[in-house]
Amino acid sequence: MPSSHRRIALATGLAALVLATTATWAQTASSWPNRPVRIVNPASPGGTADALTRIVADKLSADLGQPFILDFRAGANGIIGNDHVAKALPDGYTLLLCNSAMVANASLYTKLPYDTAKDFAPVSHFFETPYFLFVSTKLEARSLRELVALARNAPGKLTYSSSGIGSTPHLTGVQFAQKAGTSLMHVPYKGSAPAVTATASGETDLLFMSLPATRKLVEDGRLRLLGTTSAERSSFAPEAPTIAEAGLPPLVASAWFGFCAPAATPVDVQERFAAALVRAMAQPDVRQRFHDAGAVPTANNPAAFRAFFQKSITDTASVVKASGARLE
C-alpha cells in the first residue's frame, strides 16, 4: 500500500476511534450512574472526614439509585489514593475525596506521579473544618495580643506542634508567624492526637487545630482557646476572636475537603454529582450531624470548586515556599 494510502487509513482509523470514544462518554453521561460509584479516600478509615463521607454516601445512594462505596487507599500522605484516581477511567465511577493536604503536596514534594493542577477535575467542595489557636495553660499568654507580644519578644523560642510537615496546622503556623512579624519553632508529630497531647502537656507552647479534637482538653483546663483562623468569629466558639481582632493582618485557614474526578470526566456527570451532593447536604439531619462534628457544609458546583482548587494550589505554594519544607 502506498504511504499516502497508509496515512489516510491511519487518519480514518484515529477519527473513528475518537468518534467512538466520544459516543461512549456521551452515553455514559446520559445514563450516569447505572452501576456503583467508588469514592476513593486516600486515608485510613476513621476520623471526621470518613464519618461525614459515609453519611453523604448514603444520601447520594438513595437519591441517584446506585451505591456509593468508600474505597480506602491510604499511604504516602495521600499520594497513593490520589494517583489511583488520576489514572482511573474518566467515566464518573471513580471519585476522589480530595483535601487541602493534596494541594500542599503539589508544592511540598519534589516529584509526584501526577500533576495536581491538570490530572484532576474538581467537582464540588464538601466541607471545611475551622481551625482555632490553642496554647498550653502553662504558657503565660491569656489572649492573642499577649501571645503575639511573647512571640515578638523572643523570636524562634515559642514552639508549636502540628500533625506533620506540610499539614494544614503546620502551614497555618507559618502564616501566623508571618502576620505577627516573628518566628516560631515548628515541632511536627505523626498525627493530630500526639500534636494536641504535646501542647496540652506543655511539651509545646501552642497549636492550630479543630475544635472537636481539643474541646475536652479546653474544658479540663489543659488547653486555652485564644482565637480562630476563620474570617469571622465561628459559631462553634463565638468567644474566640479572629486573628485580625488582635491587630494583625487577617489570617484565614482551615482544613477543607472536596470531591475530584479524573481530568476527562464528562462535565454533565460532574454537574449531576455536584447537584445531588448539594441536595444531600441541604437536608436538616445532615446539616445537624455536620455541625455536631465541627464541620461547615460547603457543597457547590464544578465551576466554583475549580476556581477554589486552582487558587488553593497557588496560595499554598507561597506558604510552603516560606516554610522551607520539602519532601522526597
Q: Checking DSSP bridges between strand 206-209 and strand 132-136, what pairing results, if any?
A: antiparallel
In a domain, 189, yes or no: yes
Pair (161, 174) in one structural domain: yes
Instruction: Please tell me whether residue 286 adopts helix, strand or coil conformation.
Output: helix
Residues 241 and 136 occupy one common structural domain: yes
SS3 269: helix
Looking at residues 262-274, what average pLDDT do you find? 98
Asked whether residue 304 is assigned to any structural domain, the reply reads yes
**Residue 285 has which C-alpha cell?**
439531619
pLDDT of 48 above 80:
yes
Of 195, 219, 252, which residue sits at a domain end? 252
Give me the domain span that covers residue 39: 33-129+255-323
Q: How confident is the model at residue 102 (pLDDT cuts 50, 70, 90)?
A: very high
CB-based contacts of 258: which residues, under 8 Å, 6+ apart? 97, 98, 99, 122, 123, 124, 125, 126, 305, 308, 309
* Residue 73 near residue 79, CB atoms below 8 Å: no
CATH code where residue 305 lies: 3.40.190.150
Confidence class for position 218, pLDDT limits 50, 70, 90:
very high
Order of strands across the sheet with 223-228?
A: 185-188, 159-162, 206-209, 132-136, 223-228
Confidence class for position 18, pLDDT limits 50, 70, 90: very low
Which pLDDT value is given to residue 261? 99
Last residue of a domain, one of 212, 230, 252: 252
Q: Which of 222, 252, 282 is the last residue of a domain?
A: 252
Q: What is the pLDDT of residue 27?
A: 53
Residue 72 has pLDDT above 50, yes or no: yes
For residue 11, what pLDDT band results from cuts at 50, 70 and 90?
Answer: very low
Residues 114 and 139 in one domain: no
Average pLDDT over residues 292-315: 97
Query: What's the whole-number mean pLDDT along residues 272-289?
Result: 98
pLDDT value of residue 165: 94
Query: pTM (2 decimals)?
Result: 0.88
Cis peptide bond upstream of 33, omega within 30 = yes
Please give the grid coordinates belonging to residue 4. 499516502
- Looking at the domain assignment, is residue 2 inside a domain? no
111-134 as b/e: b if 16+ CB within 10 A: ebebebeebbbbbbbbbbbbbbbb
- Read off the pLDDT band of 328 (50, 70, 90): confident
Instruction: For residues 200 and 92, state if they share a domain.
Output: no
149 in the same domain as 103: no
According to DSSP, the residues that pair with 37 across neighbouring strands are 68
pLDDT digits (tens, 9 = 90+) for 171-215: 999 999 999 999 999 999 999 999 999 999 999 999 999 999 999
Number of domain units in the chain: 2
What's residue 30's pLDDT? 77
